[in-house]
Structure 1
């Protein structure tokens, strides 16, 4: 396993650690919920959703992650200001860290204000700051004094790994201007095979800046690989998605986003992380957490499992 040249920065966000050299901390699962088409949503504009079923979904993925020692945060995707406000109120009792992931500045800011109102700043990641972030959003964020932001390296003019890397300084400066002090890169997957270039940029960014980095490697699969399920069946389609997602871990990804109702990703993440941790130990890099995927996978199940 490689070792990054830059000093690696790790953030504790609500008890979940993002960052570090490969093998120090497990890769974080940012489990996406309330995405477009999620049947938990009843009326997105009114902010209505099935609270109990949503809690059940979170409890299920939380239990699976605990078995494999995979760290969990909840990526809440809001389609309206009211929905985002309600999601923040809903997530509060769980104690879990979460992303305020809105489709527009108005949605994100509504969620951010609710975070401040409820005093949840230490658990919140603002998603995101990018090249399109405007002065109005920046000014509003300055007043909220949030700590952690996803910094998006989407380069519409040069959609290559080098293009993503080239704009990193500019978007990082924007995030700093907005008042953030903790930065997590998102290398912006926009096409089916783009996890390849995005994984390379993850390596490049961590090697230069040291901040945690990751992406959403498979969200585009559902829309762009429509024939995949027909061609290979459900099992083949699922295996392809899991393989694509976990492949970025070998390039040093600290997290990735994946659908909360797809628990098959968890043991796959744990197995890859175990391999990374075992290799890193041979390079004198030790895991920082006693409970990690390597030890979890070696631990026999309880008798009642």
Structure 2
């Protein structure tokens, strides 16, 4: 494939390495849990959850990581500080090693999260998500005062989805409502483990720039890079309409052979709908990995099976191609070393 001329930074999260040249380290996967309407959540205000179910889901992620060699981060989502505390306590009780993302659309909840992980000694495993153009002064101050030293830094420019626009947000002040650049803000907050997020934007609204920015981030900054590319699938209006009018629905009762084949290969209408959805959902992440993305935030934790095999496949291809540039896997858990 390719090798970046820029020296590539590698971050270490309790033994999980992220970054480097394509083919050197396995892609890191990130699973979202406790998201809106997640079935494991009983009370999203207080953070009451079905612990057994949540633990089973996370354990499956760890099992898949052991099988493929692609490690996992846990993306913990909450809209309240109280729920964050509950979720962090639960996660630390079942896994005292893996890193976790602190993710919320509520600035106050993220302020509380920074304070709490510092207070209880979890800050070294916490990744703030995210430093972006909407970050408030109180969140910047909370990060500065905390022991958190890792963050997702978002390359989202609402006025310009091109690579140039995304780089402006990362490196130039006065863009996206902030006087300073996103990288400068991160550095001011004491963030020394920066992971750049290329800001997945919907199809037709700059999705190509989100992918090209992977190459730019790695080539210009040499920092670990990734994103939540599954959001492109989620925001694709045509796909939503297509799922409501499948081939099975169009031909049901009209073509017996097609109807029988649909049941045999897809398990009926729901299977076809899932196939129509999962194919681009997997494909968008494979594209990102092929371009060098180090972190694949694949969305709902229930999608771990497809994400694990798809990204392991991509890692094997990247590592094989990297050999032509003198690159070798840097960890003995790399998929190339035990899945072929």
Question: Which residue of 169, 181, 188 corresponds with 1:177?
Answer: 188
Q: Give the aligned partner of residue 99 of structure 1.
A: 101
Gaps of 5+ in 2: 172-180, 247-271
Q: Give the aligned partner of residue 53 of structure 1.
A: 53
Cα distance between partner residues in 2 of 1:12 and 1:236: 37
Deviation per residue, 1:174-211 (Å, 9 max, x gap) = 11112211210011113146543212101101101111
Question: Which residue of 231, 238, 246 corresponds with 2:286?
Answer: 246
Question: Which residue of 305, 315, 329 corresponds with 1:287?
Answer: 329
* CA pair 228-73 structure 1, distance change in 2 beyond 3 A: farther
Q: Give the aligned partner of residue 262 of structure 2.
A: none
Aligned ranges for residues 203-282 of structure 1 at < 5 Å? Answer: 203-224=215-236, 225-230=239-244, 231=246, 233-258=273-298, 259-262=300-303, 263-282=305-324
Deviation per residue, 1:6-49 (Å, 9 max, x gap) = 11000001221110011110110011111122111112112222
Q: Once superposed, which parts of structure 1, at least 4 consecutive aligned residues long, lie more than 4 Å away?
A: none
- Asked if 2 retains the 8 angstrom alpha-carbon contact of 1:149 and 1:180, the reply is yes
RMSD: 1.6
Cα distance between partner residues in 1 of 2:235 and 2:198: 19
Alignment length, in residue pairs?
298
Secondary structure in structure 1 of the residue aligned to 2:230: coil
* CA pair 236-226 structure 1, distance change in 2 beyond 3 A: closer
More off after superposition, 224-233 vs 161-170? 224-233
Cα distance between partner residues in 2 of 1:32 and 1:115: 19
Aligned ranges for residues 87-126 of structure 1 at < 5 Å? Answer: 87-93=87-93, 94-95=95-96, 96-126=98-128
Which structure has the larger Rg over C-alpha atoms?
A: 2
* CA pair 129-20 structure 1, distance change in 2 beyond 3 A: same
TM-score, normalized by length of structure 2? 0.84
Q: Give the aligned partner of residue 267 of structure 2.
A: none
Deviation per residue, 1:112-150 (Å, 9 max, x gap) = 222112212221111111112122211121111311111
Secondary structure in structure 2 of the residue aligned to 1:66: helix
Cα distance between partner residues in 2 of 1:276 and 1:221: 24
- Asked if 2 retains the 8 angstrom alpha-carbon contact of 1:70 and 1:293, the reply is yes
TM-score, normalized by length of structure 1? 0.93
Cα distance between partner residues in 2 of 1:23 and 1:199: 18
Shift of 1:228: 4.1
- Asked if 1 retains the 8 angstrom alpha-carbon contact of 2:47 and 2:83, the reply is yes
Shift of 1:70: 0.9
Shift of 1:291: 1.3
Shift of 1:223: 4.6
